[in-house]
Structure 1
Amino acid sequence: ARWFKIRGLSVGLVACDMHRAAAQEQLIQLAEKIGINVYTEGKDPESIAKNALKKAKESVLIFDSAGRDALDKELAQELKELKDIIKPDEIFLVVPADIGQDAGRQASEFNRLVGITGIIVTKLDGTAKGGGALSSSAVSGAKVKFIGTGERLEDLEVYDPKRFVSRLIGYGDIQGLLERAKEVGIDEESAKKMIERFTLEDFVNQISQVRKMGSLSRITEMIPGFSNLKIPTNVLDVQEERMKKWEHIVKSMTPEERENPDIINFSRVKRIARGSGTSESEVRNLLKNYKQVRKLMKMTKTGGLRRGMLGRFARQFGLKV
């Protein structure tokens, strides 16, 4: 739903899963995060679907039906009836990456029943590499359309086999990184402006946008070279927590301090630390990192980036490369 919405389409969700406890409530909570409607009126899945089709005005309707590890007669009948009512353009089967060889069996059963047109593979942020999902694709004849690489709404991405394999073997996924950047509003023009005049305000905005793109572990996987560094997850978690504190620190500064951090002296550091609920060393650490990023920006503008920059940046995470 989020994927369609950020591409300018109106989207509605239809809660047809009445088997799993609190399924409708969970769907409503997720929908509220991105500001879309959820249709729940009806006493059973079939009546909910009919009511939604009558009332919905959105360009895209996504029907969330019940799922099982294995089909039973009740679910099979329900899915058939829903398909007849909805007459969907696409039917997606959601498969967790850790399901193993059962993926092929599931795909075969669901495909025989309703004719799936695409597969969504979830839990690809774990150790499983999606072999079972590829198996399910081969059995059903349907293509993997999306993959889920985390628990957040923004962690759903279009599946591209070349980029997927590139990420697995450590070559990164620059295209995926660029797409995520575009989704959170970082375009070429804003990047140029940031380089020309990089203030602490820009720095914290950049941090905020990076955090919207996903976890640091997901982002570093997409950058060629970084995916081979094998940065420990706990190190990235510490850096993410540090970035959150940096946002609070900058918000505790005056407009003048954000515009010109060179004026921040010892007494100002004490005041900012007190106002942001952080330590003085954390404030100084922010200022140090800001100056390093500002220097990097200037080097980018003048074409001064040379070999070794990746290693120096990696050492910001406490790594030896």
Structure 2
Amino acid sequence: MVLDKLGQSLNNALRKLARASTVDEALVREVVRDIQRALLTSDVNVRLVLDLTKKIEKRALEEKPPAGVSKKEHIIKIVYEELTSFLGKEAKPIEIKEKPTILLTVGIQGSGKTTSVAKLARYFQKHGYKVGLVCSDTWRPGAYFQLKQLVEPYGIEVFGDPEEKDAVKLAKEGVEYFKKKGVDVIIVDSAGRHKEEKGLIEEMKQISNAINPHEVILVIDGTIGQQAYNQALAFKEATPIGSIIVTKLDGSAKGGGALSAVVATGAPIKFIGVGEKIDDLEPFDPKRFVSRLLGLGDIQGLLEKFEELSKETEFTEEDVEKFLRGKFNLKDMYAQLEAMRKMGPLQQILKMIPGMGYSIPDEVIKVSEERLKKFKVIMDSMTEEELENPEIINYSRIKRIARGSGTSTKDVKELLNQYKQMKKFFKGMDKRKLAKMAKKFNFGGLGI
């Protein structure tokens, strides 16, 4: 999940506030120190951290909560608002105003540029656009084949020639090819440069002059932390139509540093890479990002993922509600976990639900793809009655199911235990309280 350690630390600070019997100056200062530590550990610039936390502390100590809002709730809202402002305030989407819209991507070698190009193509495809990809990377052997392999399962065409050495010629020919084919969006993948911004900017200018893109996108590796500042600044100064994708934010301790460094340059972050799969790219919206980071949910993001999923499966919001109320059997559990897995890692999805982000036991959500496959094999050996009423499964039935599925009794018990844990957890959630909080503060960018 995006910046897990930072989110967990910030969430712990807010929990300390929520659990306190009274809110005094000492507690406010302690919570602010916890927030400072969390941000510094995530490689955010010291000066920026001090500026941010001074604002939080000043407002928390001086502002009076509005009518109907407790002091604790008001401080949580202050943290949310200041972090959102810190990361850019508003979302800045890539607009498809005319067809074809031409996008040019550039980046340092190893930044995850080619993978990001494939993810971007998939993103636009899911939103109803016909996409063509042009590989003009003549430096890296295999770049064309990598891009082709990534998007082939989705029927997205790639133009390229591994034998051609002229990147500008390739880019120009590829754009003309897709213009004739009538696609909506053309994405040109340029060659990555090896830790050398000047060369990268120069090639960007050459290709840009040849194809006249509507937008140039710089891909920055989120694991480089504060070093992202120099890349973003050089790029911003070189092009007036630039936007940025920050990649590899799913496991890096430096992700907070990279995000804040880019924002400090004034360059707009439009997407972030949140995982290895081709669907793990999302528009960067500071409000929704911070809301999830703090464990406050992202209802709007969840609804959008449901909408995407419903186009590809028969999965509905009613199915999710049944799941979250703990009213499901084994058959439902598998179908719902499988459907939610298509929306992204389960923990990412659950973090979109207010209050659930960091309160879920790891054993409840660590359902790997391999385990899901094994669980399906086990369930295939159960009777319809057992799937609908798992409570009737005794030891003799467990032995029969294990024999029939080619697994062990331990595996069958693990499935039943997973089912019981998930059912118990979701039944125990105080959903009314969470919904009330999300509605009161409009967390996650949901207009109510």
TM bin, normalised by shorter chain, reads 0.7 to 0.9
Q: Tell whether 2:362 aligns with 1:228.
A: no
- Given that 1:217 and 1:236 are in contact with CA atoms closer than 8 Å, whether structure 2 keeps it comes out as no
Residue-by-residue CA offset, 1:159-189 (whole Å, 9 max, x unaligned): 1111222223332333333333332223335
Flag structure 1 segments of 5+ consecutive residues without an equivalent: 311-321
TM-score, normalised via structure 2 length: 0.57
Cα gap change, 1:127/1:237 in structure 2, threshold over 3 Å: closer, same or farther? farther
Cα gap change, 1:6/1:171 in structure 2, threshold over 3 Å: closer, same or farther? same
Q: Which has the higher contact order (CA 8 A, sep 6+)?
A: 2
* Aligned with 1:164 (options 284, 289, 292): 289
AA aligned opposite 1:206: Q
Whole-Å Cα distance in 2 between the matches of residues 230 and 289 of structure 1?
Answer: 13
Whole-Å Cα distance in 2 between the matches of residues 296 and 167 of structure 1?
Answer: 20
Describe how 1:167-206 pairs up with structure 2 within 5 A.
Answer: 167-185=292-310, 186-188=315-317, 191=320, 200-206=330-336
AA aligned opposite 1:14: V
TM-score, normalised via structure 1 length: 0.77
Flag structure 2 segments of 5+ consecutive residues without an equivalent: 1-120, 435-448
AA aligned opposite 1:248: V
- Given that 2:320 and 2:336 are in contact with CA atoms closer than 8 Å, whether structure 1 keeps it comes out as no
Q: Tell whether 2:133 aligns with 1:7.
A: no
Whole-Å Cα distance in 2 between the matches of residues 115 and 215 of structure 1?
Answer: 36
SS at match of 1:92: strand
AA aligned opposite 2:341: R
* Aligned with 1:52 (options 154, 157, 174): 174
Cα gap change, 1:32/1:252 in structure 2, threshold over 3 Å: closer, same or farther? farther
Whole-Å Cα distance in 2 between the matches of residues 59 and 269 of structure 1?
Answer: 54
- Given that 2:364 and 2:418 are in contact with CA atoms closer than 8 Å, whether structure 1 keeps it comes out as no
Describe how 1:135-146 pairs up with structure 2 within 5 A.
Answer: 135-139=261-265, 141-146=266-271
Q: Tell whether 2:278 aligns with 1:153.
A: yes
Q: Tell whether 2:340 aligns with 1:210.
A: yes
State the match for 2:403 in structure 1: 274
SS at match of 1:182: helix
Describe how 1:28-107 pairs up with structure 2 within 5 A.
Answer: 28-41=148-161, 43=164, 44-56=166-178, 57=181, 58-68=183-193, 69-73=195-199, 75-107=200-232
Whole-Å Cα distance in 1 between the matches of residues 256 and 374 of structure 2?
Answer: 35
1:147 Cα deviation (Å)? 0.9
SS at match of 1:154: coil
1:146 Cα deviation (Å)? 0.8
Whole-Å Cα distance in 2 between the matches of residues 265 and 236 of structure 1?
Answer: 23
Aligned-residue Cα RMSD (Å) equals: 3.6
**In percent, how many aligned pairs have the same letter?**
47
